Amino acid sequence: MQGSPASRLARDLAAWLVVLVFVFPLFWWVLASVKPYTAIFAQPPVYVDFEATAENYAVTIGGQSRITLEGGVGGQTGGASSYYSLPSIRDSVIVALGSTALALVLATLASFGLSRFAMRGKDHVVFFVLAQRMLPPIAVAIPLFFIFRDLGLRDSHLGLILAHTLINLPLAVLLLKSFFDDVPVELDESAMLDGATRFQVFRMVVLPLVKGGLAATAVLCFIFSWTEFLISLLLTTSIRTIPVKITTFVTSTGTEWGLITALGSAALVPSFIFILLVQKHLVRGLTLGSLKS
């Protein structure tokens, strides 16, 4: 569609307007994190007319006490037990990395098997894996709460890693299978004629060819674990991943919007970097390998 200059301009304007509407909540969120306390609550809303401050980051990530900061962050004290969130960031990183690694190992093996072997009922296996994607988190969390209590895994990094791995498996398996399917089987066959074993074919022929797919799968698993909420909320009490930690800042005695937006903005950084790195495979990932871009 290459219309007149006027219609092209209209389209550009419409496109920018739509995207600005979608970016605005993010902009407003990050802006609030550097606003002084009073500017957040100002009416009408304040866009540029305030003195930027890093206090909110100093408290949530730097661990500074709000009282020692000159003037304090807020006029009132919220009821959350602690605003220092570096331990939460650490918990989130451990859980996300652990569950990504575990899901990737299990899924790489399984999807190679599903991609390379003719077997009876393969469709049923794929269906079965897909069905795991339909488990509502609440239906996973309730029984795991008791099972983990009996196993001593409740409120542990390992427990959360296992739960997130389970939720990530369908995505990882189906997505990697689609990447393996892209590699022609003739490659395997010729390598095996040359005397390679099946495992050597897997490790030295096929795996190097799906590196990009592995990276994309890893990123999506990491982001899922990084953003997951309900399971972390129900299965842990002292370990607090960032999404759970941040909701504890909302209390009945006052909501610390400056601190919430600071931690919330910090939590966006890894996700944004990663998502921009895997733009190419994003659609395939979001559709569990069923659509390719």
Partner 1 sequence: MVSTAARGRAPLLPRWLTADHPLPWLAPMFAMILAFGIYPLAYSIWLSLHQRNRFTRVDEFSGLANWVQAFGDQRFIDSLLVTVQYTLTCLVFQVVLGIAIALLLDCERRGYGLLRALMTLPLVVPPAVTGLMFLLMQDGQFGVLSYYLKLIGLVSPEAPILANPRTALWGVMAADIWQWTPFMVLILLAGLRALPKEPYEAAAIDGAGFLQCLWHLTLPMLSRVIAVAVLIRTIDLFRIYDYVYAMTAGGPGTATETLSFYAGRVFGVANFNYAATLSLIMLIVLNVACFTFLKLARVRF
Of residues 77 through 106, those in contact with partner 1 by CB under 8 A are 105-106
Is 58 a binding residue for partner 1 by CB under 8 A? The answer is no
Is 124 a binding residue for partner 1 by CB under 8 A? The answer is no
Q: If binding means CB under 8 A, how many residues of this protein chain bind partner 1?
A: 103
Distance of CA 265 to the CA centre of its chain: 14
Query: Which of 245, 203, 280 is CA-nearest to residue 86?
Result: 245
Contacts of 22 by beta carbon, 8 Å cutoff, 6+ apart: none
In this chain, which of 95, 210, 239, 244 binds partner 1, going by CB under 8 A? Answer: 244
Which tokens hold the place of 18? Answer: 């739509």
Nearest to partner 1 of 11, 211 (CB atom): 11
Dist. CA 234–CA 244, nearest whole Å: 10
At closest approach, how far in Å is the CB of 108 from partner 1? 9
At closest approach, how far in Å is the CB of 291 from partner 1? 6
Query: Which of 230, 209, 227, 229 is CA-nearest to residue 274?
Result: 227
Nearest to partner 1 of 214, 242 (CB atom): 242
Is 242 a binding residue for partner 1 by CB under 8 A? The answer is yes
Contacts (CB under 8 A) with partner 1, residues 152-181: 162-163, 165-166, 169, 173-174
One DSSP character per residue, 13-67 reads HHHHHHHHHHHHHHHHHHHHHTS-HHHHT-SSPPSS-S----HHHHHHTT---TT
In this chain, which of 184, 198, 208, 211 binds partner 1, going by CB under 8 A? Answer: 198
At closest approach, how far in Å is the CB of 75 from partner 1? 14
At closest approach, how far in Å is the CB of 11 from partner 1? 7
